[in-house]
Chains A and B, each alone.
Chain A
Amino acid sequence: MSSRIDTLTQPHHTAARRAQTAETTMASSERSQDRIPKITVEDTDFFYGEKQALFKVALTVPANQVTAFIGPSGCGKSTLLRCFNRLNDLVEGARVVGRICLDGKDIYDPSVDVTDLRTRVGMVFQKVNPFPKSIYQNVVYGPQLQGIRRRSVLDGIAEKSLQGAGLWEEVKDRLHHSALGLSGGQQQRLCIARALAVNPEVLLMDEPCSALDPLSTAKIEELLHSLKDQLTVVIVTHNMQQAARISDLTGFFLMGELLEYADTKTIFTNPSDSRTEDYVTGRFG
């Protein structure tokens, strides 16, 4: 806990509002003393080539909580999310300055095995992307990569993951049919199951419901509540009601800066920044 406080109270070369942000964050964290930090971001800048996408972002994602990032398009929330599993490495000219730690260890350290990191930090994407394979093959894709070959073990993992994603009852009779035959919502839950199959500690969700109908969205939101016991969830969403419904903590991003980060209740009822208030009340964005 102390490291987190250190991080948050580090001196910033920023304007007064940033100090204010830090204070808010600290205040909220003090309110929930039992929170264990899972991911800590320390003063991180992010560049796409020349263009800077994140400015001195600092925050702590607590374990076994749902943390939501909100903000208008292009504010950097997805960029930060993609830093957590280093998927931004794929982008040419992408550069991180600062420290992002998972369980206290810098994930950008050269000694870190990226594939290893990605099995610990799973991800679900905005665009539903099951592979053009069977349902079963989709789910066991990750475990197979880890070298699990025994059919019985894979079967067990498949069942457990599909149950975890609330999809088992719907697909158990057609596991070997193409995943592309499922509905959009089912496909997204399959993607969640696929991510759960590698047993991650953190699940990153990049607007997982933006392409889904309300019913499917409700199912996935329900799912998030049950997942919270096993892992840490970080979710990016455009939908403020969704953030309010499902998350424990909320961070508000604007133009690459983390304006405010606090308990969801605080953000939505008593934000300290006027711009946050304007955004959550729908005055812009």
Chain B
Amino acid sequence: MSDRIKKFLSSGTLFVWFCGTAVAASLLMVGGVLLLIMVNGLGFFWPHALVEMTLTDGTRVLGELKGEEVIPHSATPEFPEGKTRVRLKVGNRDLYGLDFRWVDTEHIASADSPKDVAAFERREWGNFYGRIREVSRGEDVVATGNQEGWKALQPLIEQANDLQEEIEHLQRDVIGDINFEIEGTRLRIRELELRGQDDAREVAELQAMTSQLETQYHKHVETLRALSRQLDEYSVLLVETNGQEKRLPVGQIVKALRPNDMDFFEKILRYFMNFWSVLSEEPREANTEGGISPAIFGTVMMVLIMSVAVVPFGVLAAFYLREYAKQGLIVRVIRIAVNNLAGVPSIVFGVFGLGFFVYAVGGTIDNLFYPEALPTPTFGTGGILWASFTLALLTVPVVIVSTEEGLSAVPREYREGSLALGATKFESMLRVILPCALPGILTGLILAVARATGEVAPLMLTGVVKLAPALPLDHHFPFLHFERKFMHLGFHIFDVGFQSPNVEAAKPMVYVTTLVLVMVVIVLNLSAVALRNYMQKKFKASAV
């Protein structure tokens, strides 16, 4: 018997089982996380049905059903399993004060999904659920009743959205450009003053330009006012389920839906439209509504800048350590130090980035190159460049280690073969060893990208903000604005999930942002993997 046990143990079957279990557990955990994020994140875009309930006290509740649970400690002899309650998103924050409401199941007299109720997504105050009483233009009523009003409202909302777009264009692009130029001339005047070259003629010219720009500015502001008035021209009188009324300018409505009246395909279409609008729009309402496009943009751009910074830096360091440095105690110590650097908490890198990049380097740059803007800092404050550099510093050990591994994997025969043909060490490295080590280098890049995309703590000190006024890339020369602050998906999760005044309403947004962040990580990684495979194919081409 003991023989059989001994045989079983030494056969390694048990070990294989342990290994398999470890893999399965890892897969289960990763899969679980992804599934949780996907279910919660992807469910957000679905147009949920609206439920109208009449309660036992005669009041009514209208909203999206968000879940049901057993009330804690509610088990009594009559209800051995406890009483239940449902959670509804009732919206109408301006009227009720809260978006969500718990209703005990025993208080529900009847529940129904009427087709004529609508969900209005508003620019402020979140969703409104209810019916339309009348649509009016100024004082004149255009349509009355829910059905008429709904028909009248559709084209008006479209018009209003077009107008809104025009206003945004005017505000951001036209007026933004003028402000940019005014600021430019102001800085130019200040610069001339600082240099003591403020001869009257040039300053006067600049001042004339400024006043000309200001005239333009005022003209555009007038147009803007007119457009805003136009936006408020139509209004709609809404009524919530208990009869409370709310007058709303049509311009306040982003979109109106009757989810109970939509068929499956309409819902699917709406689903993808919602998805796209989150990806492409800017946030509203303290980030809890609208889209996340600036955060996606900021994340990707930061990772790209980081990659551009970290690869040459890490590769050069690895080449020196592996190819040139005399292998000995010092190199060993350096290698250990580099490996340990990867384990330093990222917030420490954040503090270093703030002290070194932002204050020391950025401050010096400001003093030397942007004195006219002081005391407003240009580079002497957090910005996308400093955040990227801080992350580059954070990830450089990974690149060094994998590049070194790549280099040590290059067969000695290649080096000797190249040298024997009369190549210098440098030529051999450039033409034979570097191409062979490229897959290793790119593996380092992949790991660095994966690490950097998910990092938030150091960014909070070096340039990430809740809401950035402008993207770090635009049509103003020099197009890339490294000094600008930026938004980031990771920080967005933190901000929306934990810093917003309306956490419950923001929860779906947190999941969506998480989902997008995971997708961005995957996409960035896959592109790095594709690049590595391409390089491998190009340089290692297995055959024919």
A141 to chain B, nearest CB (A): 6
Whether the Cβ atoms of B416 and A118 lie closer than 8 Å is no
Chain A 174-209 interface residues, beta-carbon cutoff 8 Å to B:
174, 177-178, 180-181, 191, 194-195, 198
Task: Say yes or no for B436: interface residue by CB 8 A criterion.
Answer: yes
Interface residue B419 (Cβ < 8 Å from any Cβ of A) = yes
Please report the C-alpha to C-alpha distance between residue A133 and residue B541 in the assembled complex, in whole angstroms: 8
B431 contacts A141, C-beta separation under 8 Å: yes
| Chain A minimum-CB-distance residue to B543 | A181
In the complex, B539 has a CB within 8 A of chain A? yes
Which one, A85, A87, A132, A177, contacts B539 given CB within 8 A?
A: A132
Q: Are B422 and A142 in contact (CB under 8 A)?
A: yes
Q: How far is the CA of A198 from the CA of B419 in the complex (A)?
A: 13
A54 to B23, CA, bound (A): 55
Selected contact of A115 from candidates B424, B432, B541, B543, CB within 8 Å:
B424
Q: Which residues of A contact B544 (CB under 8 A)?
A: 174, 177-178, 181
Task: Report, as a range, how many residues of chain A touch the other chain.
Answer: 20 to 34
Q: Cβ of A168: which chain B residues have Cβ within 8 Å of it?
A: none
**A129 contacts across to B, CB distance below 8 A:** 411, 413-414, 416-417
Chain A nearest CB from B431 CB (Å) reads 7
B418 at the interface (CB under 8 A from A): yes
Per DSSP, chain B at the interface is helix
Distance between Cα atoms of A132 and B414 in the complex (Å): 9
Q: Contacting chain B: which of A8-16, A120-128, A265-273?
A: A120-128
Contact A118 B422 (CB under 8 A): yes
Q: Write out, one digit per residue, whether chain A residues 142-165 have a CB within 8 A of any chain B CB (1) or not (0).
A: 100110000000000000000000
Using Cβ atoms and an 8 Å threshold, which residues of chain B touch A133? Answer: 435, 539
Closest Cβ neighbor of B539 among chain A residues: A132
Question: Is the C-beta of A90 less than 8 angstroms from some C-beta in chain B?
Answer: yes
Check A132 against B436 for contact (C-beta < 8 Å): yes
Report whether B420 and A87 are in contact in the complex, using a CB–CB cutoff of 8 Å. yes
Interface 1/0s, chain B 407-435, versus A by CB < 8 A?
00001011111111111100100011001
- B137 interface residue (CB < 8 Å to A): no
A sample of 20 more A-B contacts (CB under 8 A), given A119-B422, A129-B417, A130-B417, is A87-B420, A90-B416, A115-B422, A122-B420, A125-B420, A127-B411, A129-B411, A129-B414, A131-B414, A131-B432, A132-B435, A132-B540, A133-B539, A141-B423, A141-B431, A145-B423, A191-B417, A195-B420, A198-B421, A198-B422
17 residue pairs bridging A and B, Cβ less than 8 Å apart: A115-B422, A118-B420, A118-B421, A125-B417, A132-B541, A133-B435, A133-B539, A141-B421, A142-B421, A145-B421, A145-B423, A177-B544, A178-B540, A178-B542, A180-B543, A181-B544, A194-B421
